Structure 1
Amino acid sequence: MRNKAGRFSPQHPTLGGNTGIRYSADHTGTVPMWHRWIPAVTGLVLIRLLPPKAAPAAAPARGNLRLQAVLLLASATLFAVALWLSGGGEPAHTLLKLILLLAVPALLLRLSRRDRADQGHIHERPSAWRHYAPIAPVTAWLALTYAGPLAVPAGDYAARVDLVTLALTVVVVFSVNSLLEEVFYRRWLQTRWEHVIGPRPAIVLTSLLWAAWHVGIQGTGHLVTDLSSAIVNQGVQGLFLGYLWSRYRLMWPILVVHGAMNAAPLLLGML
């Protein structure tokens, strides 16, 4: 199996006693899996301690919302499978993402505008508390992930390109990955499944689906091993992102975290 950059990746058998997991699709470097767990668990605890003020619960799903949830689930599943079958390289990765995570869902939701999962409590004007409470878990996650002994190693991309190329890379990566994925997986998919099965099961379901597609760009060809690695890495990160969205219903916290996941290793190379 080739990764996003078109290189073969070494096996990382988390089921066989090796606790190293890849933290980027651009190279084969690994970190111990608890380096990813500790920041996420710390963030989850802080979210639990700093809940939103009088956040409304999701109403039971009506028939059209259930259909939306199922169709979005199918689109997410098809994306993960198609990307894996394609080998995970470009341009398949970006084209599949734009079609299955943006174009198809946007058309679906446009045709279903009269029965939206986010009517009411997502567009409710957030209190000042809900605006600022996410600062604590997001800051703690950033500090643990990119500073101190748990820090993700810096990449050398920033040192190899000029500033214009670096800036364009960051903007494109943020738009195609962080922004698009968070809108699809958290705002669209998770929100609808919260109405169907409840918030916590929806967070788990969305996290697993978000983790699964990473097999296509970070896989080794050993499907069970690759899935286990994705679950203990992106799956755990997805729980943090999903809980941020479920608790606060604000886009900026999940965009900051997801954006840092992708861009920080690049930018740290400038230091």
Structure 2
Amino acid sequence: MIENNSELIRFNHNSVSLCNLLQNIANETWERIGFARTRKGLKIFETTITQNILYEFHKYCDQNPHTPIRMFEAINEPLNGNDIELIIQTSGGYVIAPLQAKIIYKTDNYPAMDHGNQINDLITYAKNVGGVPLYLLYNHYLDTFTHNGNLCGIKFSKEQYGCSLVSAYYLLNKFAFNRFDKSGNPKWTIPNFIELHPDIAVPWFVLGCCRFSKANTDSTVNLINNTKVHSVSLKHEIHTYQYEDLNLEQNWKPLNTTRLNLENDLSKENNSQYLPKYRIILSLNEE
């Protein structure tokens, strides 16, 4: 059970630090993949990046004891996969964003997206919880890619696409719609980096930075208020939760950071359905 809402301590200044945390993770992901891909004999895996992200959130929470970030793990661990479920507080309540992580390959695309019925499992899970299904992409792009973006008044460079978000509905409709293999699973036309960046995918810092901006940017509306994503309408209604609603759930327990055995946990595969193993709640600072 999630801790009592009264124990969720608000803070006055760490919203900027959370924004920076997401930016730092994205920059490090970009550089880490690039380092591994440009040196003979080195390899880097999707699960390694996910492990690093969990550790960075844990370290941030440990160093900022009054932060309103909370980390949880599934109680029934053997039945859950390796995925992270983010819960983001907006002005209208908490919104669930189940994430499906995929790392870019040396071929500059994402072959692992073509993975059974995984995308439909993610969308089904999102429908069941009234959430927004997103793919979290881990990126580095070796070819020339000059980009100076601006979201929510924040100027950023290409390294912020180290961790980027794209709608699962967009990917399904654009790259796997009405195409099936012999088993009835979606048959993909695998997207490459340039097909998604910078026009479709957005840096994941929007989840921590744009909520605090007064600018009504498209990325904020699309990814946080979740009315429409990249001109692809969501196929289900988005439900907003109160923290008390989340507190009533019995499937989660606070992440026990004294026994983080992520390397072993994250090496397990669960190909049957989307069942997130970790939950991270990002709350707003108190108005």
- TM-score above 0.5, yes or no: no
* TM superposition score normalised by structure 2: 0.30
Query: What's the TM-score, normalizing by structure 1?
Result: 0.31
Q: Which has the higher strand share?
A: 2
